[in-house]
Amino acid sequence: MKPISVLLADDHTVVRQGLRALLAAEEDIEIVGEASTGWQAVRLAKELQPEVILMDLAMPALNGLDATKQILGDTPATKVLVLTSYSNDEYVRQMIEAGVAGYLSKQTAAQDLVKAIRETHKGNAFFSPSIARRLCDQSRGKLGQRVLGARSNELTGRETQVLSLIARGFANKQMAAELGISVKTVEKHRQHLMKKLGIHDVAGLTRFAAEKGMIEAVATGVPTIRTEGEPVGHPSE
């Protein structure tokens, strides 16, 4: 079976030597070239057509991000695997948007590098465990925000008003007086919004309202949260 062709792109000679030594025992991986600058990586990628490139971010002449964009524009079949000591979220985000197949921290390269090369060669994504966990947490957070948005959009204008007042600590009788509706109607709206949101306690409703920015929105008084188009002083029930 033809070995996976790999180009090393790192400005430190000792790092490239270490990578060669680490990969030398792998029969299915072959180092076909080395680049010490970003421009050299771009040139060699076009010339050698490696299947995988190990790319450092802090490259002279042309940084790893810009070099990656050039390479993937010229040779889109090549898989770029970031191998760097920089692993904060902004670097990871930028490189993912540039189209890299994986992102490895040099601190864990010894354990993960061989597997990462094989997986990216297959077309799979590969990230260092710590980075993968952060990406997973961020995805869950974004999903939660989308769910919150969808759930809040299901509320009617009156239910939103009631939720906002609940979050401000109003009792049913106080809400009825503020909104000009009966206590029975307040209770009905309260039951409906709890069912829609799947939240059945005041603490949970307050947290939800805070996350959606509803508490701040009504801080200056109830008229600011009336349903659009509803005349003040004649609220609908």
Structure tokens at 128: 């260092």
Q: What pTM did the predictor assign?
A: 0.57
Q: In what order do the strands lie in the sheet with 29-35?
A: 29-35, 4-9, 52-55, 79-84, 102-105, 126-127
- Give alpha helix (H) positions in the chain: 13-23, 38-48, 64-74, 89-98, 109-122, 129-153, 157-167, 172-179, 183-197, 202-211, 214-217
In sequence order, which residues have a C-beta less than 8 Å from that of residue 183 and are 6 or more positions away?
Answer: 172, 173, 176
User: Nearest 5°: phi and psi at 168?
Assistant: -85, 0
Domain range summary for the chain, segments of one domain joined by + = 4-137, 154-225
Residue 58, helix vs strand vs coil: coil
Which fold does the domain 154-225 belong to in CATH? Answer: Arc Repressor Mutant, subunit A (1.10.10)
Name the architecture of domain 4-137. 3-Layer(aba) Sandwich (3.40)
Q: What is the Cα–Cα distance from 37 to 40, expressed in whole angstroms?
A: 5
Span 22-74, pLDDT tens digits: 998 899 999 999 999 999 999 999 999 999 999 999 898 899 999 999 999 99
Residue 182, helix vs strand vs coil: coil
Which pLDDT belongs to residue 196? 83
Span 120-160, pLDDT tens digits: 898 888 887 777 776 666 555 454 454 455 455 577 888 88
Residue 5, helix vs strand vs coil: strand
Span 79-124, pLDDT tens digits: 999 998 877 778 888 888 888 888 888 877 777 899 999 988 988 8
